[in-house]
Structure 1
Amino acid sequence: MPPTARSVNNDLSIDLVNPSTPLFPGSVILGHAVRKTAIDAPSSVIRVRLQGRAKAKLVADNGNGNTTYRSRFNFWNESDVAETIHEGNLTIASGQDLSRPFSLTIPMDTSAKAVNAGRSEKEKQASFVKSPGIGSKEIPEQTLPGTYRVDHSSFSKKWHGYVEFWIEAELAVRSGRGKTKVTKAKLPIRINGARTRPITDFGLASRKMPGCVSSDLLVPGTDRADLSLKQKMRKVFGSSKVPGFHYKLEVTYPTVVQLGNPASVPFLLRLLPD
Structure 2
Amino acid sequence: MPQTEARSDDDLAIKVERDTYTPGETVTGNITRVSALVDSEVTLNVVLHGRAKSKFMDQNDHGAKPRRGRYELLKVKQDVFKGPVQIPGNAEPRQWSFAVQIPTHVDASHYPGNHKGEDALTDIDHETVSKMELPGSFMMGYSSGYLRREGFVEYYLEAVFEHKRSGSTETATAVVPIQLRARNIAPPLVDFSLVPFENEKKVTTQRLLPGMENAELSAMDSVKKFFGTPSVPDFAFKIEVNAPSVFQIDQPSIPLFIRVVPNWSDSSKEIQGKPAPKARVVSFRGVLGSYCHILCASGKMGFARYENWWEEDHDLEADGCDLDRLAIDVPCGDDVEAADVGAALHLRLPRSIFPSFTTFNIHLRWKLNFWVYLDIAGEETHVHRHIEQVTVIPASSGPPPGV
Deviates more, 1:88-97 or 1:58-67: 58-67
SS at match of 1:123: coil
CA deviation after TM superposition for structure 1 residue 41, in Å:
2.3
Q: Equivalents in 2 of 1:8, 1:136: separation in Å?
A: 36
Distance change (3 Å), C-alpha of 1:211 and 1:32: same
For the 8 Å contact 2:116–2:123, the answer to whether it is kept is no
Is the Cα–Cα contact under 8 Å of residues 58 and 66 in structure 2 kept in the other structure? yes
CA RMSD of superposed structures (Å): 3.3
Q: Cα deviations across residues 18-38 of structure 1 (Å, max 9, x unaligned)?
A: 336x52111111222111111
Match of 1:56 in 2: 54
Select the residue among 88, 91, 95 that pairs with 2:90. 95
**Residues 4 and 225 of structure 1, relative CA distance in 2, 3 Å threshold:** closer
**Residues 116 and 139 of structure 1 are in contact (CA less than 8 Å); yes or no, is this contact kept in structure 2?**
no
Task: Pick the aligned partner of 1:29 from 15, 20, 27.
Answer: 27
Q: Report the Cα distance in structure 1 between the residues aligned to 2:31 and 2:175, rounded to whole angstroms.
A: 11
| Larger fraction in strand | 2
CA distance in 2, matches of 1:254, 1:47: 47
Say which is worse superposed, 59-68 or 2-11, in terms of deviation: 59-68
| Structure 2 residue 257 is the aligned partner of structure 1 residue 268 | yes
Q: Check whether the contact 2:205–2:225 (CA below 8 A) recurs between aligned residues.
A: no
Change (3 A) 1:269 1:98: same
**Distance across 1 between alignment mates of 2:204 and 2:60:** 49
C-alpha separation between the residues in 1 aligned to 2:243 and 2:49?
A: 40
Q: Name 1:19's counterpart in structure 2.
A: 18
1:9-58 C-alpha deviation (Å, 9 max, x unpaired): 11011133x336x5211111122211111112233211111111122223
Alignment of 1:70-219 (within 5 A): 70-76=68-74, 78=75, 81-96=76-91, 97-114=93-110, 122-124=118-120, 127=121, 129-130=122-123, 139=129, 141-153=131-143, 158-177=148-167, 179-196=168-185, 197-219=187-209
**Alpha carbons 1:130, 1:140 under 8 Å: kept:** no
Offset, 1:87: 1.9
Tell me the amino acid that sits aligned with residue 148 of structure 1: F
Give yes or no for contact 1:204–1:254 (8 Å, CA) kept in 2: yes
Aligned residues: 259
Q: Which runs of 5+ in 1 are unaligned?
A: none
TM-score by length of 2: 0.56
Contact preservation (8 Å) 1:6, 1:188:
yes
Are the aligned partners of 2:108 and 2:130 in contact in 1 as well (CA < 8 Å)? yes
| CA contact 1:73–1:115 (8 Å) conserved in 2 | no
- CA deviations on 1:137-157 (whole Å, 9 max, x unpaired) are 965542222222223346995
Q: Secondary structure at the match of 1:122?
A: coil
1:243 & 1:156 partners in 2: Cα distance?
A: 58
Q: Does the aligned pair in 1 maintain the 2:115–2:123 contact within 8 Å?
A: no
Describe the superposition over 1:62-112 as per-residue Cα deviations: whole angstroms up to 9, x where unpaired: 799765442221211x3xx22112223332211222212211001111123
Aligned mates of 2:135, 2:106 — CA distance in 1: 9
Aligned pair in 2 of structure 1 residues 91, 206: CA closer, same or farther (>3 Å)?
same
Q: Distance in 2 between matches of 1:244 and 1:99?
A: 80
Q: 2:40 aligns with which of 36, 39, 42?
A: 42
3-state SS, counterpart of residue 257 of structure 1: strand
8 Å Cα contact 2:26/2:101 also seen in 1: yes
Change (3 A) 1:157 1:254: farther
- Cα distance in 2 for partners of 1:137, 1:154 equals 40
Distance 1:5 1:271 in 2: 54
Q: 1:261 to 1:228 in 2, by over 3 A?
A: closer
Distance 1:116 1:185 in 2: 30
Instruction: Map Cα deviations across residues 119-154 of structure 1 (whole Å, 9 max, x no partner).
Output: 895323xx1x458xxx98965542222222223346
**Could you tell me which amino acid in structure 2 is paired with residue 105 of structure 1?**
Q
Amino acid at match of 2:71: F
Greater CA drift, 147-156 or 94-103 = 147-156
